[in-house]
Amino acid sequence: MSFAAPISYDIDKDASIVGFTYRFGPETIMGKFNDYDAELRIDFDRVKNSTVNVRLDTTKATAGFPFATQALRSKKILNVDNFPNITFQSTNITGGGNTATINGNVTVRGITKPLTLTAKLFRAVGTTADERDNLTIKITGQIDRTEFGATGYAKEVGDILRIAIDAKIQAQ
């Protein structure tokens, strides 16, 4: 029995959000990574052969409002002058149907730690069950910023960042 090869996908950056939420005082604020690259390969028959590799440009990240963006990019948090990128590389992907668990390593501020993400794939309404050319992928997870030395503004900003990615993807 032969299996289909993994399909490579491009992200429609104009229709996608690579974001995160965090606590700022009593409020929940949304931030975004406005510049990024991603290599996404999905094997629908053998999900373990799928891979995800991402590079986020920290120098263009925003944190909801100007003061927070300035703080986010500062030496106390992302330290963008010394660490202009955050990277993620998958090491193992499991699951089935439209949901997968993506295990990998994330590097923030030069520190690499394991990270587990949950991904869900969706087809557009009205498409056939075998549609694989144009999909939406929603990825969630969370990191504790203090594990990466991003400890600035601890009284104002919560430690947990919730990852919220909503990406439109097209087969290459």
Q: How confident is the model at residue 165 (pLDDT cuts 50, 70, 90)?
A: very high
Give strand pairing partners of 163.
20, 141
Q: What is the pLDDT of residues 55-70, one digit of tens each?
A: 999 999 999 999 999 9
Output the CA torsion 9→14→148→25 (10° steps). Answer: -140
Mean pLDDT, residues 147-160: 96
Q: What is the pLDDT of residue 3?
A: 56
Q: What is the pLDDT of residue 133?
A: 95
Read off the amino acid at residue 16.
S
Structural domains in the chain? 7-171 (2.40.128.110)
Look up the pTM and report it. Answer: 0.93
Helix (H/G/I), strand (E/B), else coil: 69: helix
Give the rounded distance of the alpha carbon of 57 from its chain centre.
Answer: 12
Do 167 and 18 contact (CB within 8 A), yes or no?
yes
Q: What is the pLDDT of residue 73?
A: 97
Q: Alpha-carbon distance 50 to 5, whole Å?
A: 10
